[in-house]
Structure 1
Amino acid sequence: MPPVEHVAETYAREVTGGARLACQWVRLACERFLRDLKRKDIRFDVAAADRAIAFIESFRHYKGEWAGQRMKLEAWQKFVIGNIFGWKWSASGLRRFKYAHVEVPRKNGKTLLAAGISLYMLCADGEGGAEVYNAATKKDQAMILHKDARVLIEKSKDPDFKAAFSIRKNPPIIEYEAADSYMRPLGRDTEGDTTDGLNPHAIIADETHAWATEGFWNVLNSALGARSQPLFLMITTAGYRLSGVGRQHSLIVQRILRQEDGGEGDDYFGIIYTIDEGDNIEEPLTWAKANPLYGITVNEKKFRSQIALAKANPAINRELKTKWLNLWINQASLWLDSDKWLHCKLEFDKEQLAGKRCYGGLDLAITRDLSALVWVFPPQEGIERWTFLPYFWCPAEDIVTRSKRDKVPYQTWAEKGFIIPTPGEVMDQGYIHRQILEDCGRYDVQAVGYDKTYAASLINPLVEQGVNMMSFSQGIMTISPYAKELERLVIEGTNLNHFGHPVLAWNAGNVVVHMDANGNIKPDKKNSEDRIDGIIAAIMGLGVAIETEYGGSLAGDWGCTVL
C-alpha cells in the first residue's frame, strides 16, 4: 500500500495545481517542495514533520472566540512547520533548514505559530541546554511573543507538561529543567549587555520589517555556530524599510524561489504571502490570495470596511497595503508622495511676500544637526496659495561630518544658502533669534509656534521683544489635524507653494507617520529614515495659521496656547 501523502505535499500540489489560490511566491515555494522530493541528498522525514505539528496542536487557544479550544493548524501553517522540521540531510540526518523567513499579513496566526515553534525548540527537539531567544528591535516587542509562549504553557490542560517548566516574570524567562534549557526575550535596545556569550539553539525573530540595520541580526547569527541544527526563524509582515533586515531577507527568499541563488540558499526556507502585480485590491479574490486565513481569522467584513476607508484616507491606504496585503512600500513615498510634492512649486517672486500676513513654525535641535523655521503665508491678496518659506541652520562641524558620513549634500546646500552654518559643534540659537526679528520687520508676522521642550532660552527673549510666541504640543492628538491638512494640500497639488526648497523636499521624503487606532497621525522622528525637522516646522506653522485664521474650523479645536 503506498504511503499516505503528507499534508505539506498535499498543500503543495493543491497550490501548484490551481486548487488553492496563491501568489507567485507561494506557488514557487510549493514547486520547490515538490522538486526537492526528487533529490537524493535530502529527504522529507514525515514523522519529524508530524511530530512538530502535533506538538503545536496540543496547545489551546487563549484569545477570542476559540479560547479554550485545542489549536488546529491550517494548511499553510502545516506547510511551514512541515518544511522547517521535515527536511533532513540524507547523509547526517540533521535538519536541512537553518534559516526560515515567513512573511504573511497580520491576523493570519503567525505569532501563535512562532510561539509554538519556540516551545518546540525549547523542550521537544531533543537538544540539551537549549537556549531559545524571542528577538525583536525592542524588548517590549520581543515580550509579545515571549508572553504568548508563556501563556500557552499556563493554559495547557496537561498538569505534567505545565509542571515541567519554571516560569519567571522578572526577569522574564521560561526554564525547561529536564534539559537545562531556557527561553527569554531579547531586544536590540538591550543588546549591549545581553548578547555576549549567547549559544542559541533557536532565534525566533519577530516583525523583522522594523529591523533597520543588520547589526543586531549579525550578532545573533554569529552565535549560531556551536549547535548542530539551530534555527533562525524570521516572521514578519511587510513594512516601509526597504533597506532594512526584513526587506533584504524577503529579497533573498525571492532569489531562492526563482532559483537565482546558485544553490547557496539550500539551508534557507522562505515563503511570502502577498498579491501579484496587476491584482485589483478591491477584489475579494485578491484579499484571499494574500491572506491564507481569509474567512477564518481575517474578517471579510472588516476588509471591506478597510477598503472603503482607504479610498479617502492615504494613511489607512498605506496600512491596508502593508499590513493586510503584505506589500512593501518605499519609505520615500510613504507619507508625502515625492512626485506630488515636486508639483507644489510655483514660480513666484519672494519679494512679493514683503508685508504679507504669515505664521511661523519653529523646530529646534537640542545641540547638533538641523533646526528649522518655516514661515507659512495663508492665501491672501497677492498670494493665491498657502506658501512655505523655510530656513535651516546646522552647526558647521556637523555639516562636514554628515556630508562625509551619510552622503547627504549638506555642504552643497550650505554653499547655495539653503542651510545656514553656525560656528562650532553646537547650535548657536542667536542666528535663529536674529532671523526671526529680521523677518518680523519684513513680514506681517502674526505668531510663531514652537515646541517648548527645547526652546526656553530662545523664546523668552523673543517674547520680551514683542514676538507673539505660541506653545505647540507635538502630541498626536494636537498635531494630527494639521499633518492631515498638509497631506491634503500636497495631494491636491494646486494650493501649496514651497518654492522647491531642496532641504525641505529631502525632509518630506524622509517622513514616516505613526497612526493610532483612531486614525490620528504624527510624523515619527524616531522611525523616519533621516531628518524631518522642516516638515515638523511646516506643520506647526500651518497649525498656528489655521487656528488663528479660521479658529480651528478646518478640523476642530486643537489646543495651541498663547504663551
Structure 2
Amino acid sequence: MATYPNVNAANKYARDVVAGKIPNCRQVILACQRHLDELAKEKDPNFKFRFDKAKAERVCSFIQRMPHTKGEWARKKQKIKLEPWQLFFFAASFGWLVKATSKRRFREVMLKVPRKNGKSIIAAGVGIFGLCADEEYGSEVYCGATNEKQAWEVFKPALLMARKLPKMRKKFGLQLHAKKLTRSDGSVFEPVIGQPGDGSSPHIAIVDEFHEQPTNEQYDTFDTGMGSRDQPMILTITTAGTNLDSPCYDLELRCRAMLDGTEDEHLFALLYGIDDDDDWTKPEALIKANPNYGISVKSDYLLAQQQKAINSPRFTNIFKTKHLNQWASAKSAFFNMEKWKECEDKDLTIDFFRGVDCIQALDLARKLDMNAKARVFWKEIGGKIHWYCVAPKFWVPYEQVFNNENKQLGEQFQRYLTQGLLSVTDGAEIDYRDILADVVESHLETPSVSIPIDPAGATNLSHNLLDEGLNVVTVTQNHQNMSDPMFELEAAINSGRFHHDGNALMTWQISNVIGKYYQGSDDRVRPTKQKNINKIDGAVALIMAIGEAMLQKNQGQTKAKSIYEGGTVGC
C-alpha cells in the first residue's frame, strides 16, 4: 500500500495552522483552510478538482533529492529537507488536478515570503522539476527578472544542483551549458531578462522578486505564450516591496481577494507576513512572518534587525518590508474581512424579503466605469438594529470587460460576468436605461422608501426615477455624510448584526475599502481605495443606504419608523 509521508506532513501543517498551533497571519490561515475545505469536497461530483497524493508526493520527493548549493549545509554535502510549510506549498501547488483532464489545476502560483526564507532553493527546485520530471515533452522553463544578477539568483542554484547530480543528468539526458540547461528532447531551462522571445512557449515560468518589475510585460508574455501547454504554471516568488503601483502589488490584491472568497479557481497563493494589528516590535512578529525562522534565517540576525528598526526610524520601513513582508506605505483595509465572512448567510435571497420596505442606493461613478446598487433591509432585534444586504447589482460597459486597457481588471470583470454577478451594458458607456429598469423592477418587489444617489452621478437618471414616482435623495459622498454609516457598518459587521448573501463581487469591493480620515481626526471618515483597479462602488452604495436609513430613523419619518418596528424580516 502506497504511503505519502510528505503529503501527510503537508496536510498536518495545514490543520495545525488552522487550529492555531502554528502562528501565522490571516492570509496563510485562509490558504490552509481553502485546501482543507476542498479536500472535504473532493467526492462531490459537482466539484471540479481532486487532490492527487501521488503527484504531490512525487514533487516533494524530487525536490528533496536536490543538494544544497551554499552555506553550511552545502559544505556538509546535505540534501534539501523541506520544512512542513514548504511541503504544504509544493503539495498544494502541484497536487491539485482538474478531474475532467487529470491535468494540474493551478496555472498561477504566488509565494510571498520574507528574505532568507529559502526562496531561491524553492524556485531552482521547481525549475529542474519542470525541466526533467513534470511529464512535459520539449519543456521550456524560464526564470525571469529585471536584470541578469536577479535572474541568476534562481538559475545559478539550479545549475549547481545539476552539476552535483551526475546520475540525474544521465537519467534525464541533462546537458550543462554556461547559461542554460538542456535535454535531448529540446527541453530548456534558462534565465530571461525582460521579455522572452515571441516564439517561446513556457511550461514553467518563474518570476523572481516580482516587486522589482515596474510593468506586467514579462508576466503577460509568459502567460500568453503558454497556450499550447497542457499544464503550465507561472510561479511568482517575491518579498513585499515599496511600489504600490507595481503589477506585483496588483497580483497580491487579487490573491487576497481570492482568499477572501472571490472565485479564482486556478490561482494558488501563500502569503507570509504579519497581521495589521500585530505589534511589529515583538519577537512573535518575526516568528509569524518568517516560516523558516531559526532554520535558514537565524533568529539572532532577525532580532538584531528588529532592534535596529526600533532604534532607527529611517530603517523601520526597510525592516518591515524585507523581514515582515509588509508593503511600504500600504494602507490597511477598513473592514474586518474575517468578520465579514462570518456575516455571510447564503440562505438569504430576495424572495425572503418580497413586500418588505428597503433603501435602494446607487453609486453612479462614471459612464465609462462600474456602477452599483445596494438594497438594504433592517429590523430591530433585542434593541439592536440588524442590517441585511441582499441581491446587490453591478453594471459595467462592454468595452471595460472585453477591451480594457488594464488586462487584469478586464479579466476580473470577465470572471464576475461568468459567475452571473455583473451586468454588461452595450458599447463603451453605461446605458442608464438598464439601471432605471432594474431599480423600478426592484421597487415592485421590495418597496423603496428612498433612493439615495450621489449628485455627481447621472442627473437624467435621477429625473427619470422621480418621474416613476420614486423618492430620490441626493447624498454627497463626503466625510459628513459617510462617516456615521461607515462606522455603523463596521460595528454591525464586528458584532454580527450585519447579514449578507455572500455576493463575491460585493465581498471583493468591501475588502478594497480604505478609510480616509478628515484632517487627522479618528472620528470622521469616508471610504476611498488604494488604486483605481480596487473597485469600491458596491461598498459605497451600501454605506449610502445605511446612512439614509439611519437619517430617516433619526428624523422620525413615519415610513422609516414602520420598517423598524413592523418589518417582516424574520432572521
Give your verdict on TM over 0.5: yes
Q: 1:58 corresponds to which letter in structure 2?
A: R
The CA distance in 2 between the partners of 1:251 and 1:163, in whole Å, is 39
Contact 2:144–2:218, Cα closer than 8 Å, also in 1: no
SS of aligned partner of 2:226? helix
Task: Pick the aligned partner of 1:199 from 187, 198, 201.
Answer: 201
TM-score, normalisation: structure 1: 0.55
Q: Is the counterpart of residue 323 in structure 1 residue 322 in structure 2?
A: yes
Q: Counterpart of 2:564?
A: none
Which letter maps to 2:162?
Answer: I
The 8 Å contact of residues 113 and 239 in structure 2, kept in 1 or not, is answered as yes
Shift of 1:167: 1.5
Residue 111 of structure 1 aligns with which residue? Answer: 120
Q: Go from structure 1 to structure 2 and tell me whether the alpha carbon gap of 1:157 and 1:283 turns closer, same or farther (over 3 Å shift).
A: farther
The secondary structure found in structure 1 opposite 2:22 is coil
1:294-351 Cα deviation digits (max 9, x unpaired): 111221111121122213333422221001000001289xxxxxxxxxxxxxxxxxxx
In the other structure, the counterpart of 2:468 is none
Matched position secondary structure for 1:226: coil
Aligned to 1:50: 57
Give the match's secondary structure for 2:80.
coil
Partner of 2:160: 151
Aligned: 1:34 with 2:43: no
What is the deviation of 1:219?
A: 1.8
Question: Which residue matches 2:293?
Answer: 294
1 CA distance for matches of 2:25 and 2:260? 13
| Matched position secondary structure for 1:147 | helix
1:515-554 matches, within 5 Å, as none
The whole-number CA distance in structure 1 between the counterparts of 2:113 and 2:120 is 11
Partner of 1:180: 186
Report the Cα distance in structure 1 between the residues aligned to 2:28 and 2:3, rounded to whole angstroms: 25
Match of 2:236, SS state, is strand
Rate the CA distance shift 1:298–1:160 in 2: closer, same or farther, 3 A.
closer
**8 A Cα contact 1:275 1:286, kept in partner:** yes
Tell me which amino acid in the other structure corresponds to 1:42.
F
Give the deviation of 1:19 after TM superposition: 1.2
Cα distance in structure 2, aligned partners of 1:111 and 1:208: 13
Give aligned-pair identity as a percent.
Answer: 36
CA 1:159 to 1:133, structure 2 compared with 1: closer, same or farther past 3 Å?
closer
> 1:64 & 1:313 partners in 2: Cα distance?
30
Structure 2 letter corresponding to 1:250: E
Distance 1:94 1:128 in 2: 15
1:79 to 88, 93, 104: 88
Number of residue equivalences? 322
Measured after TM superposition, the shift of residue 64 of structure 1 is 1.1
Aligned position for 2:340: none
- The two structures have a TM-score, normalised by structure 2, of 0.54
What letter corresponds to residue 193 of structure 2 in structure 1?
G
Task: Specify the SS of the correspondent of 1:128.
Answer: coil
Aligned-partner Cα distance in 2 for 1:30–1:200: 28
Q: CA deviation at 1:163?
A: 7.7
| 1:271 and 2:270 correspond | yes
Report Cα offsets for 1:100-158 as digits up to 9, x if no partner.
Answer: 01000011111100100011001101111111101012233112211111011112263
Report the Cα offset of residue 229 of structure 1: 0.6
Shift in Å, 1:198: 1.0
**Structure 1 unpaired stretches of 5+:** 333-563
**Distance across 2 between alignment mates of 1:94 and 1:163:** 22
Partner of 1:13: 15
The separation in 2 between residues aligned to 1:62 and 1:89, in whole angstroms, is 35
Q: Which residue number in structure 2 is paired with residue 208 of structure 1?
A: 210
Q: Over residues 348-375 of structure 1, what are the superposed CA-to-partner deviations in whole Å (9 max), with x where a residue is unaligned? A: xxxxxxxxxxxxxxxxxxxxxxxxxxxx
Change (3 A) 1:160 1:212: closer
Q: CA distance change for structure 1 residues 108 and 302 in 2, over 3 Å: closer, same or farther? A: same
Distance 1:255 1:331 in 2: 16
Distance 1:272 1:212 in 2: 21
- 1:250 Cα deviation (Å)? 0.9
CA separation in 1, counterparts of 2:325 and 2:68? 25
In 2, the alpha carbon distance for the partners of 1:160 and 1:242 equals 43
C-alpha distance in 2 between matches for 1:184 and 1:223: 16
Aligned partners of 2:281 and 2:200: how far apart in 1? 47
Unmatched segments (≥5 aa) in structure 2 = 42-46, 332-571
Match for residue 68 of structure 2? 61
Residue identity opposite 2:149 in structure 1:
D
For 1:50, the aligned partner's letter is E
- SS of structure 1 residue aligned to 2:288: helix
Paired with 2:18 and 2:172, the residues of 1 have a C-alpha distance of 44
1:372-395 Cα deviation digits (max 9, x unpaired) = xxxxxxxxxxxxxxxxxxxxxxxx
- 3-state SS of paired residue (2:61): helix
Name the structure 1 match of 2:219. 217
Report how far residue 212 of structure 1 moved.
1.2
State the 1:213 CA deviation. Answer: 1.4
Q: Secondary structure at the match of 2:180?
A: strand
Partner of 1:257: 259
**Equivalent residue, structure 1, for 2:176:** 167
Q: What secondary structure sits across from 2:40 in the alignment?
A: coil
Q: How far apart are the structure 1 equivalents of 2:3 and 2:80?
A: 26
Corresponding position of 1:451: none
Distance in 1 separating the partners of 2:24 and 2:282: 14
Work out the CA distance in 2 between the residues paired with 1:159 and 1:204. 22
4+ runs deviating over 6 angstroms: 1-5
SS at match of 2:128: helix
Give 2:24's aligned amino acid.
A
CA apart distance, 1:215: 2.2
Q: 1:168 to 1:26 in 2, by over 3 A?
A: same
Q: 1:385-432 CA distances to partner (integer Å, 9 max, x unpaired)?
A: xxxxxxxxxxxxxxxxxxxxxxxxxxxxxxxxxxxxxxxxxxxxxxxx
Cα distance in 1 for residues equivalent to 2:245 and 2:63: 34
Relative to structure 1, is the Cα distance of residues 2 and 158 closer, same or farther in structure 2, using a 3 angstrom cutoff?
closer
Q: Shift of residue 2 of structure 1?
A: 12
Check the 8 A contact 1:156/1:162 in 2, yes or no: no
CA distance in 2 between counterparts of 1:135 and 1:160 reads 24
Cα distance change on mapping 1:282 and 1:97 into 2, 3 Å: same
Is the Cα–Cα contact under 8 Å of residues 146 and 184 in structure 1 kept in the other structure? yes
Task: Give the secondary structure class of the aligned counterpart of 1:225.
Answer: coil
Q: 1:301 to 1:167 in 2, by over 3 A?
A: same
| Structure-2 residue corresponding to 1:135 | 144
From the superposition, tell whether residues 159 and 212 of structure 1 become closer, same or farther in structure 2 (CA, over 3 Å): closer
Q: Secondary structure at the match of 2:257?
A: helix
Residues in 2 aligned to 1:174 and 1:76: alpha-carbon distance in whole angstroms: 29
